[in-house]
A = this chain, B = another copy of it.
């Protein structure tokens, strides 16, 4: 069944499928694709077209919270695209999906039209099972599509957000309390940086602890600022930072920005990067 969805994306001209993974416990698949705006819109429409006949939320269960057959579609700006481009694409795609498939759509994150619906967690609260009741209450009229759930496909969240960076800092200690205290100090929910989610975890096999983080906007909360804050908080507790790691992908700009930041680089432009020049210029 997942193969049908993957094929729908693969067959869309101008779209490259970068990654796909399925988690049986979550009963959920994630597809990552890249392309320009019209190609991505076409791919998302193709994906809904393949998913709706195949997935019935009335008989679906899994550990991960969800409101729809196509639960969430985030557009992420890369390679010269701006957040404004992604917000426009999210709106346009949401409108087309709602019209073609009669699925209610909530715009979220940077594409949200209501601050109360900015966070995906708030949109998902109650899940598919609670959706009909929730949609009948004030503030939950969708941005596009019918005012009640699609019978089998529920609703979808479509939005725009910055690329997320999974970033972990390992501490040269086995004291889990220290990792938890530092996580609390740097994460938004307990007074830390606006775009940091963090928790302290134990790396049993190595006998050390880790501050495990998601950086949800590396432009507004840069990696280096987070690293330095963790280092300072660790030092305050007599603990050293052992190393850090990026899990999965990271936009080049996040690392280039880190270099600019630490070197106090002034008047630097992306055109100064040799590889950019190679790709863009021929005189």
Contact of A18 with B281 in the complex, beta carbons under 8 Å: yes
- In the complex, are the beta carbons of A249 and B273 less than 8 A apart? yes
> Pick the contact of A274 from B227, B242, B252, B260 — CB < 8 Å?
B252
Q: CB of A246 within 8 A of chain B?
A: yes
Q: Is the CB of A250 within 8 A of B273?
A: yes
Given contacts A264-B244, A267-B245, A282-B16, contact A274 B259 (CB under 8 A): no
Q: Are B18 and A278 in contact (CB under 8 A)?
A: yes
Which among B262, B274, B282 is the interface contact of A262 at CB below 8 angstroms?
B262
B residues near A268, Cβ cutoff 8 Å: 245-246
A51 interface residue per 8 A CB criterion = no
Asked if A275 and B252 make an inter-chain contact with CB atoms under 8 angstroms apart, the answer reads yes
Residues of chain B within 8 A of A18, CB atoms compared = 277-278, 281-283
Q: A163-B274, A263-B224, A278-B16 are known contacts. Are A252 and B244 too (CB-CB below 8 A)?
A: no
- Other-chain residue from B79, B258, B274 in contact with A263 (beta carbon distance below 8 A): B258
Bound together, the chains give a CA A275 to CA B163 distance in angstroms of 12
B246 in contact with A272 (CB, 8 Å) = yes
Does A265 reach chain B (CB closer than 8 Å)? Answer: yes
- A223 adjacent to chain B (CB < 8 Å): yes
Quote the shortest CB–CB distance from A282 to chain B (angstroms). Answer: 5
Chain B residue contacts of A267, Cβ below 8 A: 245
* B contact residues around A223 at 8 Å (CB): 259, 263
Residue of B whose beta carbon sits closest to that of A15? B282
Check if A274 sits within 8 Å of B249, measured CB to CB.
yes
The verdict on A19 contacting chain B, using a C-beta distance below 8 Å, is: yes
Q: With A78-B274, A246-B272, A266-B245 given, is the CB distance from A283 to B19 under 8 Å?
A: yes
Which residues on the B side are within 8 Å of A276 (C-beta)? 252
A274 to chain B, nearest CB (A): 5
Complex Cα distance A249/B280, Å?
Answer: 13
Q: How far is the CA of A266 from the CA of B170 in the complex (A)?
A: 10
Report if A256 contacts B (CB, 8 A). Answer: yes
Q: Which residues of A contact B (CB under 8 A)?
A: 16-20, 34, 78-79, 163, 170, 223-224, 227, 241-246, 248-252, 255-256, 258-260, 262-268, 272-278, 281-283
Q: Which 4 A-B pairs have the closest CB atoms?
A: A258-B259, A255-B259, A243-B266, A262-B262
Can you list 21 A-B pairs, Cβ within 8 angstroms, ordered by A?
A16-B282, A18-B277, A34-B278, A224-B259, A224-B262, A241-B264, A242-B264, A244-B263, A244-B265, A245-B265, A246-B265, A249-B273, A249-B274, A250-B272, A252-B252, A252-B276, A255-B255, A256-B259, A258-B258, A258-B263, A259-B262
